[in-house]
Amino acid sequence: MPRLSEVIAALENLWPAERAESWDAVGTVVGDPDQEVTRVLFAVDPVQDIVDEAVKLGAGLLVTHHPLYLRGTTTVAASTAKGRVVHTLIKHDIALHVAHTNADTADPGVSDALAGALDLRVTGPLVPDPADPAGRRGLGRICALDHPLTVRELAARAAERLPATAQGIRVAGDPGALVRTVAVSGGSGDSLFDHVRAAGVDAFLTADLRHHPASEAVAHSSLALLDAAHWATEWPWCELAASQLDEISDRHGWDLRVHVSKTVTDPWTSHSPSPGAPN
């Protein structure tokens, strides 16, 4: 049975903290390095529902993609939502470890998992990491389809393969256009349009696309846009990360029981169809 410090060392080897963006907050938030760990739960968000799930599971470690505190705080009082998370974790001897932008750019990372969920063949990073001589790490991925699909068919595949959310998959561009190459980026991706245009791909699948960047992108090119829910584009990473830790556990003889949360923590809970275009 490994100690927490041993498991964290393995996770840090997968996603070194020094590869996170300077503004990010990654690493171990809560936990005693000497405590023993038998169960690990992976999830996107360190919210109360996920922590309660970890308690019921008997997990000794919760690994999330999103940070608990991205900005500084002056309180962890249980009267606050995040403070209650901290209190619950400590009360039940559950450690919390965060892998965020260091998991985004890893090889394999968040966008590799997204591409894998959609059965896309990764050909390289969208924004290569200049510190990686092999040219495999970086933000986003450029992918190829072994058999071309229309934009409509690709959107249907995304809706089928990604976890269901209230938003579903929004599409901009010609739904009948053929797609042979796709750029993907788990999480918010509209800051990457310059790189997407430079890559010359047929479509871009990401999340949190804003009105003006999306409008400009489709107005000045034939690029198709597929906009999924932020949580849904990052959830496949949990399964990838869990399988990576499973392999490490087997190699070391730790016999860890590794789980992936299927709790939907996307904040949007319903979608009301529009009654029609404004007059």
Collect all residues with Cβ–Cβ distance below 8 Å to 139 and sequence separation of at least 6.
Answer: 104, 105, 111, 125, 126, 127, 129, 185, 192
Strands of the sheet containing 257-260, edge to edge, are 27-30, 95-98, 61-64, 39-43, 257-260
Determine whether the annotation assigns residue 230 to a binding site.
yes
In 3D space, the residue among 114, 144, 139, 110 whose CA is nearest the CA of residue 125 turns out to be 139
Supply φ then ψ for residue 251, to 5 degrees: -65, -35
Give the separation between CA 44 and CA 180, rounded to whole angstroms: 30
Separate counts of helices (H) and strands (E) for the chain: 9, 11
Cβ-contact 259, 275 below 8 angstroms: no
Give the separation between CA 203 and CA 238, rounded to whole angstroms: 25
Cβ-contact 73, 39 below 8 angstroms: no
Tell me how crowded residue 219 is: count the other CB atoms within 10 A of its CB: 8
Determine whether the annotation assigns residue 104 to a binding site.
yes
- The gap from C-alpha 59 to its chain's centroid, in whole angstroms, comes to 21
Burial (CB count <10 Å: 0-12, 13-18, 19+), residue 13: exposed
Determine whether the annotation assigns residue 100 to a binding site.
no
Residues at the annotated binding site? 65-66, 104, 230, 234
- Which positions make up the binding site for a divalent metal cation? 65-66, 104, 230, 234
